Amino acid sequence: MVSLESLVGNDALRARLRDAVAAGRVSHAYILEGPEGVGKRSLALGFASALLCAEGSGVPCGRCSHCRRSAHPDLSVIEGEGKSGAVKVAAIRALRADAYIRPNEAERKVYIIDHAETMRAEAQNALLKIFEEPPAYAVIILLTASLPAILPTLRSRAVTLSVRPLTVEETAAALQRLTKKRGPELLEAAEHSGGRISYALELLTDKRTKEAAKLAEEFRAALPGELYTLLTFAPRAAANRDLFEAFLSQLYQQMATEAGLTNLSAVHIMEKIIEIRQKLEGNGNLSLLAHCFCLDCWEAAH
Ligand SMILES: [Zn+2]
């Protein structure tokens, strides 16, 4: 099982979770909030192993019967299903029914709900019932990139902790540990990832993502320049549909990471990206769409 000690970054947060277990002061509900890809799930899994370990010191002992398991019967991860990828009310009802049955082996039962913001009001209200009367042994951890999407009634009954993106050095260290690779491409992926470890891994391993990221970076550099230069990106980015989609997604991530919400033209460009993605779904003409997109972005930047 993942341990909090094996993770990189968010030191204060990891210490807080470890100390809560060691002191026996664990809340029934936690919300880990932070941008997509910063490692919320790994943190939650690390916390879960500390909660399930028989020694309860906050650091999994690695020797007890709980620590030695790869999958634990008292740990459940609930994820979205179907086309919408939403966490369904049925899954929450199943969680509720299960939570009132005593733990199988450990002293606790831990539930992790990933992408909790996808729960509709019905699902969140079903969860509220267990937040109001939690069994003593249950710990429920919600993971979300969008805290405002969680009902205030749930938020007020949970401990909310913010998960921060890693620094470039922390990301590079984590990449090295995870991939066993070394070299300049590690640092490059770390620099471009905005501290989101799963995105950095993607950059490091996926060739098309890498190509699209480079193109998006050149595009950003060309934004303040001449219109005709920016328009030369249209045929390059729209060489094929996959590349264009990857380019848009990279551009969006780069804008979101570096711009901050005060930069209005970046916000406009992000809106343009959302718009053009919708048009792409409608099977619009690729080269025409790319051309208009470049034009729109140039206007937003000038
Ligand atoms: Zn243990």
The CATH number given to whatever domain includes residue 20 is: 3.40.50.300
Shared-domain flag, residues 42 and 158: yes
CA of 2 to the centre of ligand 1 (A): 12
Q: Please say if the pLDDT value at position 52 is more than 80.
A: yes
Shared-domain flag, residues 228 and 108: no
Mean pLDDT of 274-302: 89
Q: For residue range 169-198, list pLDDT tens digits in order.
A: 999 988 888 888 888 888 888 888 888 888
CA of 107 to the centre of ligand 1 (A): 12
Q: Quick check: is 168 in a domain?
A: no
Shared-domain flag, residues 141 and 212: no
Dihedral-angle region of residue 53 (phi above 0 means left; psi in -120 to 50 means alpha; beta otherwise): beta
Q: Quick check: is 228 in a domain?
A: yes
Q: Quick check: is 169 in a domain?
A: no
Give ∠ CA 276-282-283 in degrees, rounded to 5. 95
Q: Please say if the pLDDT value at position 260 is more than 60.
A: no
Instruction: Enumerate residues 6+ apart whose C-beta is below 8 A from 108.
Output: 26, 51, 52, 74, 137, 138, 139
Residue in this structure with the two tokens 């049925």, named with its chain if needed? 90
Shared-domain flag, residues 153 and 52: yes
Q: Lowest-pLDDT range, 173-177, 224-228, 293-297?
A: 173-177
CA of 51 to the centre of ligand 1 (A): 9
CA of 59 to the centre of ligand 1 (A): 8
> What is the percent of the chain where pLDDT is above 90?
57
Shared-domain flag, residues 235 and 138: no
Please name the residue ranges forming H helices in the chain. Answer: 11-22, 40-52, 89-99, 121-132, 152-155, 168-179, 184-192, 197-205, 207-222, 227-231, 233-237, 241-258, 264-281, 286-301
Which of the listed residues 162, 187, 216 is the one where a domain comes to its end? 162
Q: Quick check: is 31 in a domain?
A: yes
CA of 68 to the centre of ligand 1 (A): 7
CA distance 293 to 284: 12
CA of 132 to the centre of ligand 1 (A): 30
Which of the listed residues 162, 190, 215 is the one where a domain comes to its end? 162
Confidence of residue 57 (pLDDT cuts 50, 70, 90): very high
CA of 137 to the centre of ligand 1 (A): 17
Q: Quick check: is 174 in a domain?
A: no
Q: Quick check: is 120 in a domain?
A: yes
Q: Beta strands 75-78 and 109-113: pairing type?
A: parallel
Q: Please say if the pLDDT value at position 158 is more than 70.
A: yes
CA of 47 to the centre of ligand 1 (A): 12
The pLDDT of residue 81 is 83
The pLDDT of residue 262 is 55
Which of the listed residues 105, 129, 162 is the one where a domain comes to its end? 162
Shared-domain flag, residues 157 and 221: no
The pLDDT of residue 258 is 63
Query: Pick the residue with more confidence: 187 or 29?
Result: 29
CA of 73 to the centre of ligand 1 (A): 15
Q: Please say if the pLDDT value at position 51 is more than 60.
A: yes
Q: Quick check: is 86 in a domain?
A: yes
Q: Please say if the pLDDT value at position 40 is more than 60.
A: yes
Counting the structural domains of the chain, the total is 2
Q: Quick check: is 89 in a domain?
A: yes
Is there a contact between 288 and 279 (Cβ–Cβ < 8 Å)?
no
The whole-chain average pLDDT of the chain stands at: 90
The encoded tokens of residue 46 equal 């690390």
Mean pLDDT of 226-233: 94
CA of 57 to the centre of ligand 1 (A): 9
The DSSP output letter for 225 is S
Range of the domain at 270: 206-301
Shared-domain flag, residues 156 and 216: no
Shared-domain flag, residues 158 and 11: yes
Mean pLDDT of 9-13: 93
The pLDDT of residue 47 is 96
Mean pLDDT of 227-249: 91
CA of 138 to the centre of ligand 1 (A): 18
CA distance 140 to 131: 9
> What is the percent of the chain where pLDDT is above 70?
97
Q: Please say if the pLDDT value at position 255 is more than 90.
A: no
Shared-domain flag, residues 228 and 286: yes
Shared-domain flag, residues 153 and 236: no
CA of 244 to the centre of ligand 1 (A): 48
Shared-domain flag, residues 59 and 152: yes
Shared-domain flag, residues 21 and 132: yes
